Structure 1
Amino acid sequence: MRLFRSLTLLTTLITALVAPTAFADDLYQIEMILVRQNAVPAIDSRAAPEDWDAGAQRINTDSFRTPSMNPEVEKLTASNDYTVLLHKAWQQNLGEEATKVAISDGKEQFGQFPIEGTLNVKLGRFTDVDAEFWVNQFNSDGLVTASERLKQESHTKNGQLNFLDAGHLGLLIKITSLTAPAPREAPEVVPD
């Protein structure tokens, strides 16, 4: 009987250690840079749909923050290899339930923008990111005539800069917890 209790306790402990940790909604800063890779020929896709933001919530203007990845933008801008199309940073709560936000830039014309898209984010051991963006061209009547599309999914590591490569368009994204302590830097020299 004693052995049975010990095995039950051991099984319970192992299950607790192996089971995925539940993540509560916490405040995170999300920063993204949408770039065009100039060396890769642009791929025109179908025009962005009129309901490009379906099911997505708009980011509250109070949630926008001053971007911190300006050095990365300067390096990209200095290079002839990239054109920075969009750079935004904001705060939002993230949890195990996916959160889809709509992001746009430029003058709205009939519900569409020069740059528009959605970012669907779900927190876990790694953060699942599903990004879909369009870079639109308009005619003189304000109608979308051509679009370039980025559609990319990734498991990103929190607190680190991640690159989602979609050929001619790419997305740099960094998701940082504002409530958890920052990870410690690895030592430059590992002691013997």
Structure 2
Amino acid sequence: MPLRYLVLLLTLLAPQAHAEALYRVELILFRHAPPLEASQHAPYNWADSAQVLDRRAERQPALEHVAARLTPDQGYQVLLQRAWQQAVSEDAPTIALHQGQRHFEHYPIQGLLRVRPGRYMQTDMTFWVNRFGEYGQLLASERLTQRVRLVPGRLTYIDHDSLGLLIELKPL
């Protein structure tokens, strides 16, 4: 009889342990070709349903050696590099990232990233690289949108028009 309760307890706790797995997320967004602007600007409400990345969750980037090789001499320009720690679950929030000085509702670099668990981590991402006018008005946007499956612990390259993204998820 006690063995049956132990099996039941383990069955109930196993999904919770997997559902709340803690990961280190690191990404590098870079340009590898002349800008290819999207036909539509980044939406004004781009981060409405997202949670802005908490500064306390940010970590020192571990892929500095990779970013250092993305030099202008090689035809690259690093636009954003961030690392943070987050719990990954089915109901984990979408994370909003941004860099640069805010112009009204937009930043020069802004993006959304959502990670869901599984054998392969399901990742939905949208990043915008925005260009502003003399008075701060949004003139044009480049957009990278992808849904990819990531293998934890493996650096993954995502190619999209004039932009590229390197992303790595590591279990903690």
TM-score category by the smaller chain?
A: 0.7 to 0.9
Question: How many Å separate the matches in 2 of 1:65 and 1:71?
Answer: 16
The CA deviation at 1:79 is: 4.6
| Partner of residue 52, structure 2 | 58
Q: 2:35 aligns with which of 42, 54, 58?
A: 42
| Partner of residue 86, structure 1 | 80
Does residue 175 of structure 1 match 2:164?
A: no
| Partner of residue 101, structure 2 | 107
| Superposition map of 1:112-127 within 5 A | 112-127=106-121
Question: How many Å separate the matches in 1 of 2:73 and 2:115?
Answer: 30
Q: 1:152 aligns with which of 136, 139, 146?
A: 146
1:20-67: CA deviation from partner (whole Å, max 9, x where unpaired): x842212111000001112xx432112111011121101111111100
1:129-149: CA deviation from partner (whole Å, max 9, x where unpaired): 111010001111111101111
| Partner of residue 67, structure 2 | 73
- Aligned length in residues: 157
Work out which of the two has the higher radius of gyration on C-alpha atoms and give 1 or 2.
Answer: 1
SS in 2 for 1:99: coil
Letter in 2 for 1:33: I
Letter in 1 for 2:37: D
Name segments (4+ residues, structure 1) moved above 6 Å. none
| Partner of residue 33, structure 1 | 28
Gaps of 5+ in 2: 1-10
Letter in 1 for 2:136: G
The CA deviation at 1:123 is: 1.1
1:59-116: CA deviation from partner (whole Å, max 9, x where unpaired): 1111111000000001112652321110000111101334310000000111210000
> TM-score, normalized by length of structure 2?
0.86
Letter in 2 for 1:44: E
Q: Percent identity?
A: 38
